[in-house]
Amino acid sequence: MINPYQSDELNPLFIADADTRRALTKEADSLPAVLADSSSAASAVMLGGGYFTPLSGFMNKSDSLLVAERMRTTDGLFWPVPIVNRVMSAPKVEAGDRLTLKDSEVDGNPPLAIQTVDEIEELTEEECRFIAEGIFGTTDDGHPGVQTFLKQGRFVISGQLQVLNYSYFETDFPETFRTAAQIRDEIQQMGWNKVVAFQTRNPMHRAHEELCKIALDRTGADGVVIHMLLGKLKPGDIPAKVRDDSIRKMVELYFPKNSVIISGYGFDMLYAGPREAVLHAIFRQNLGAAYMIVGRDHAGVGDYYGAFDAQEIFRDEVPSDALDIEIFEADHTAWSKKLNEVVMMREAPGHQKDDFILLSGTRVREMLSAGESLPPEFSRPEVAKILMDFYRSNQVP
């Protein structure tokens, strides 16, 4: 199996020993505390699960600025997005003090982690916008990732972390949430050596299903890890539970037995396009995948990124010695009326746009909300029913 990113072994920051964890949880109640917002809490969960190997905690201001500008930390590690703990007001602690991170996403705000403080530094408004520009390629307030980023606190607390739990992800998604180490263990139990990872924040329709099967076939991989985001999304996106149900139904009915691992990770969607695609590749390498599928508009939103910018960044900006995981570059995939099958559109010569069944996300939502059936060439009927039932319950804004 492929090695973790820039390391011979994973570096999960979760305290695995139960007795030690209980003692630290008790200690956390006596320490100065800050409330970790959704972004910081999710980053702590990812650090705890080993997904952000080789990081040992939250970055400082210098690292954040340099990563935003050059995708490098001050010690030279290639990294695409700052991993920071940002708070609204500076706690009264000094370097070397221990600080409790309370979880804003769980009732009662229980301790999530203990951080040993290196520095507490304040970002200026200009520096916040500089970092946003680096991550998202824009400071347009209409971008949902920029909106979230610029609303976060300006005080950056850096330092090493001891993670005490996995927030709401482990309890809300017990069958799906997995750490990088747990997925590596499952890959070994399956007897797989070479694995393809598929990122999703949406339900999977037939195009996604076929794309996974194409990647499996062409890479010679033993299986695919369907790895879904379980954290916060923008308004209007499908909730994780509904996505989980629809993906499980698709895999049960339409994939060969023992060819798929269904799992999820506890992180909020950034909508950062190319930069986020690189972050996705890092934590897919950490879970053991040799390949990651990157298709059209990976991690994108609106018209902020070109259709294949997330592929180009791996060719143009990622150093050749940084990643061991390989990118499986995919085109837009759709049902061909001429060929009567799902194909990558660039591999269908002699086709016009009307020769494919293409539905926008807006049109899909309209049809589901109205109780209209999606074309069977677009979505498996069992998946469409799960989505239709959800939309018709008026749970979507």
Active site residues: 201-202
Mapping DSSP to helix (H, G, I), strand (E, B) and coil, where does residue 48 land? helix
Mapping DSSP to helix (H, G, I), strand (E, B) and coil, where does residue 368 land? helix
Mapping DSSP to helix (H, G, I), strand (E, B) and coil, where does residue 179 land? coil
How far is the CA of 386 from the CAs of 172, 204, 211, 373, 394, in angstroms?
A: 19, 12, 21, 11, 14
Place of tokens 């946003």: 132
d(CA 195, CA 225): 7
Q: Please give the single-letter amino acid code of residue 357.
A: I
d(CA 367, CA 370): 5
H helices present in 75-224, as ranges: 125-136, 144-151, 169-172, 180-190, 206-219
d(CA 356, CA 378): 10
